[in-house]
Amino acid sequence: MRKAESAAAVAVRGFSVAAETFESLADRRLKWPSPFVLPGWMRAWQEVFAPQAELWIRSFQKGEEVVGVAPLLVENRTARLIGGPDVCDHLDLAAAGSRTVEFSRALLDYARIEGIERLELNPLRPDSAVMKVLAPAAREKGYAVSIGEDDLLFEVELPGSWDEYLQALTGKQRHEVRRKLRRLENSAAAGFRVLEAPEAVRAAMDDFFVLFRQNREDKAAFMSGRMEAYFRRLAEYVPGMRIGFLDVDGAPAAGVLCCDHEGTRYLYNSGYDHRLAQLSVGLLCKVFSIRESMARGLKRYDFLKGNEIYKRQLGGKPVPIYSCRIDLR
């Protein structure tokens, strides 16, 4: 593997290629395809889960314009996207739409120059740059490409009003949402609030962890000390992180940890007080989060990976998640 410092002097297919860091990427203010590839998100993941990893972050520029960024890490001549499928629901390259094909071809050439023999890229949305452009470009060059479907996520397109959202649900779904809302309103004093100032989100993480850990035994086991450190770094490093709390009789009864990014709210994780399960506080916290998203003018609500029933109940439509392997030898 060539040394990172040499990358700045390399030109491939008319692009200048430069080594980058999380800090330099943040300064560039690029348009990132999802929160999981934001520099802060990748930094949080790398610090907690792969502190010794060899990062291979390259920008491809024409003149002063950055056309694309490949945020990869390399081990044994195999490159992977920075992030792990257990905590990063979909990853991708960052690429300008008009030049994604040029960028993808240059990336394949440059990866070979750097001694990379395989690209193992996942998890990927079907509309990702990897799936739409890089994989076809690799096939055109004669490389072996294998693609597999790994999982599903669920998302719902948000209309302009709450009534329109309810009407888009099936009759049974709409009835259940309204019934649960009435029961909550008739049983307790309830309110929903969203914290978005970075310092407020960081301060609220303790309350969120309490709700998360008491929800289910498997969730309590998931939230190890290492995972808690990761979540706290997300709250510190990632703009757009939000915590929404459903308060019942003045105390947090359920919480959702979300990230708002490019017109979409991503529901990253959630928890609720199991003692109030009869009031459906876990589901209703998500309902209130959807309604608040529409009030902000957001256009999509991404429930992320997992086939939980509530995602379909709240109007979520399935989107397949893929993995892609490209053999460059």
> What tens digit of pLDDT does each residue of 111-121 get?
999 999 999 99
Instruction: Give mean pLDDT, residues 118-136.
Output: 98
Residues 6+ apart with CB under 8 A from 162: 291, 294
pLDDT at position 148 is 98
SS3 state of residue 106: helix
pTM of the complete model: 0.93
**Sequence-ordered strand ranges (E) for 42-131:** 54-62, 65-75, 78-81, 94-95, 118-124
Topology classification of domain 159-298: Aminopeptidase (3.40.630)
- Same CATH fold, 159-298 and 4-151+322-327? yes
- The pLDDT score that the predictor gives to residue 9 is 47
Buried b (16+ CB within 10 A) or exposed e, 279-292: bbbbbbbbbbbbeb
Q: Kindly report, residue by residue over 241-269, the tens digit of the pLDDT.
A: 999 999 999 999 999 999 999 999 999 99
Q: State the Cα–Cα distance between residues 197 and 77, nearest whole angstrom.
A: 41
C-alpha distances (whole Å) from 145 to each of 73, 118, 165 are 19, 10, 40
Q: 173: pLDDT confidence band, cut at 50, 70 and 90?
A: very high
- Report how far residue 219's alpha carbon sits from residue 274's, in angstroms, rounded to the nearest whole number: 12
pLDDT digits (tens, 9 = 90+) for 175-219: 999 999 999 999 999 999 999 999 999 999 999 999 999 877 888
Segment 233-239 shows an average pLDDT of: 97
| CA distances in angstroms from 271 to 123, 222, 286, listed in the order given | 24, 12, 10
The CATH homologous superfamily to which domain 4-151+322-327 belongs is Gcn5-related N-acetyltransferase (GNAT) (3.40.630.30)
Token pair for residue 88? Answer: 């990063």
Q: How many CB atoms lie within 10 A of CB 171?
A: 8
pLDDT at 103 over 60: yes
Give the tens place of pLDDT for each residue, 276-315.
999 999 999 999 999 999 999 999 999 999 999 999 999 9
Please state, in angstroms and rounded to a whole number, the distance separating the CA atoms of residues 299 and 158.
Answer: 5
Choose the weakest-confidence range: 25-39, 47-61, 67-81: 25-39
Q: How does pLDDT run across 35-52, given as a tens digit for each residue? A: 999 999 999 999 999 999
Domain ranges of the chain: 4-151+322-327, 159-298
Look over the chain and give the mean of its residue pLDDT values, rounded to a whole number: 94
CA distances from 245 to 20, 82, 190, 269, 305 (A): 37, 31, 10, 12, 22
Distances (CA, A) of 286 to 36, 124, 193: 21, 25, 12
26: its two tokens:
């943040």
